[in-house]
Structure 1
Amino acid sequence: MRKLIKNEQGLTLVEILATLVLLGIVFVGIMSVFSQMTLFNDKTYTKLDTMNLARQEMSEIKSVAYPKLITDITTNIAATTYDDFSVAADPYYLFAKNEDGYTYEMRLYKIPKLVGDANIASLYQVHLQVKKGTQLNSETYGYIESK
């Protein structure tokens, strides 16, 4: 009978409480990772959305501008696509517009980046930035052909 009393196979209240505390610490650590993942996913979604907006805007700019002289390109972009047009300091023209809560800023460089003999007079670099408020969300580069 004494062997049975000394050989108890149970857990004490202290052991159970210690286990619960350790599980609580691990659970809190895991839950903080989930909240960070949600924040990261939101930022990724916003970045992808603005990248697609930038690509779409770049294709619209090229369709409006192609193929003309640089003076016609600037006039055409200002007249059809962008609301606000200002001549910035050299080496670029600055166009801007606000649409659907985003600000599009386009810099069209005045000096051609590439000049060649392949039936293209020159290629002008376009730098497009998409902003939400003052925060830059996406940017892309492209070229407009001038003949």
Structure 2
Amino acid sequence: MNSKVVVVGKLKEKYLKQGIAEYAKRLNKFCKFKIIEVPDERAPENLSPAQMEQVKQVEGDRILAKIKEKEYVFALAIKGKELSSEEFAAEFEKLTTYGHSDLTFVIGGSLGLSSAVLKRADAQLSFGRFTMPHQLMRLVLTEQIYRAFMINAGSPYHK
């Protein structure tokens, strides 16, 4: 199984890099896991709605260039479906049972995801209505992917 996270922007914070690296190492026993960074689009502070859409479109094109047709794509979006860890694990199990061995998760930039990325997504996930830095979301998502594998393996990690 392959699992990847496509994200906008570079991760600078050492503590987040360390946490993600730890979960990525643990994930290697379950899947081939990788994180792909695409450049964020530089933009001034006070953007018009049209300029915001343009930034999302440019970042969206960069994201879509990293996704293959056969991949099952989860877009992280505030309006997405909220799942418990157990429901997320069950979704993983169901997808792999039905032949989806390439799972891709997408985290947009500070303005969110373009409509083209949301349209390409097979599912939209939400981690709640809290606003989180997208860099922190990488760590949270990576841990939840690991947790899903551990739940499906019957491990006590989840308890």
Q: TM-score, normalised by structure 2?
A: 0.24
**Which one has a larger percent strand, Structure 1 or Structure 2?**
1
Q: TM-score, normalised by structure 1?
A: 0.26
Answer with 1 or 2: which has the greater Rg: 1
